[in-house]
Amino acid sequence: MLIRLGYDIRFDMPSAAAMIAMLRVHPSRANRLRSPDWVQTDPQVSIDEYTDSFGNLCSRFVAPAGPLRLFSSALIEDSGELDAVNPQADQIPVQNLPPEVLRFLLASRYCEVDRFSDTAQFLFGNTQPGWQRVQAICSWVHQNVTFGYHLARPTKTALDVHAERGGVCRDFQHLAITFCRCLGIPARYATGYLGDIGVPPDNSPMDFAAWFEAYLGDRWWTFDARHNARRIGRVLLATGRDAADVAITTSFGAALMKSFAVVTEQVAAEQPYSSEMQRSSLRA
């Protein structure tokens, strides 16, 4: 299938400021793009790109004072298949894990592993290690945490989510990631596009989505504690220890967001590509 994806984000910049944007499709999916997904700006600025320590593609530029628009639109090919599953995927003993995944066992900004060890062992210590354990964690978080935009705040950590039992998609993932790490399962945060493909449409404004990946067997597997269901059409942007590593934009100075719109939708194969957003309903 073909998926149109894109965004239109507008800021008011009180003064010039350096910015980093993490809005390019992840290199692991870039070969499926039908057209480049370059970050475009209005006014035009010079953009440098680099790959961070997690393998994410980052765009670096200096935003001038005044109105600033970041936008892009592209088509990407997708298999149209549901998230892969492997109930036989084993949990690897920590001493046998590849060195590059060990950092995803440690505490991070939003995942207080050191505060959850006893709770994780109490809730999931009797589950079968491996896929069944991660799935039990997802099911528990899904059943015990309430979703609500009014419950979000940028400082909310896994400990807060567990205490308050509410949050948005990133909060569900932070809590599940923390439980996994406490039990010796490397887990990392993922962000990207996830449209209402193969599920009833959601009346909420479209946004970037969060899920997480757990390292089982010899690879990373997709899990989603918020939806707790296999989905079609995930398009990865970035992975990191938690949301702090994969901020969509980071400004080294004041940046006042004025509007924010995201598009991710299935389109007919013969539909032509356009470099502009092709959806009239924007989130203001």
Residue 167 in this model has a pLDDT that exceeds 70: yes
Distant-in-sequence, close-in-space partners of 79: CB < 8 Å, separation ≥ 6: 1
pLDDT, residue 206, reads 87
Q: Average of pLDDT values for 199-218?
A: 92
Q: Are 143 and 189 in contact (CB under 8 A)?
A: no
The band of 271, judged by pLDDT with boundaries at 50, 70 and 90, is low
Its pTM stands at 0.93
pLDDT tens, position by position, 108-137: 999 999 999 999 999 999 999 999 999 999
Angle at 243 between CA 241 and CA 244, to 5 degrees: 85
Residue 1 bridge partners (DSSP): none
- In this structure, the strands spanning 146-147 and 166-167 are parallel
SS (H, E, C) 18-58: EEEECCCCCCCCHHHECCCCCCEEECCCCCEEEECCCCCEE
CA distance 173 to 196: 19
Report percent pLDDT > 70 for the chain. Answer: 95
Pick from 167, 174, 143: nearest CA to 246: 174
Residue 55 in this model has a pLDDT that exceeds 70: yes
Q: Which has the minimum average pLDDT: 39-53, 161-175, 270-284?
A: 270-284
The band of 275, judged by pLDDT with boundaries at 50, 70 and 90, is very low
Report percent pLDDT > 90 for the chain. Answer: 92
pLDDT, residue 284, reads 27
Domain ranges within the chain, ordered by starting residue: 2-79+247-267, 94-245
DSSP reduced 3-state for 283: coil
Angle at 19 between CA 5 and CA 152, to 5 degrees: 65
DSSP 174-229: HHHHHHHHHTT--EEEEEEE---SSSPPP-SPP--EEEEEEEETTEEEEE-TTT-S
Cα 45 to Cα 18, 42, 61, 75, 256: the distances in Å are: 11, 8, 7, 24, 18
Placement of tokens 């590509």 in the chain: 273
End-to-end CA distance of the chain: 29
The domain made up of 94-245 has a fold known as C8orf32 fold (3.10.620)
Asked if the 2-79+247-267 domain carries CATH number 2.60.40.10, the reply is no
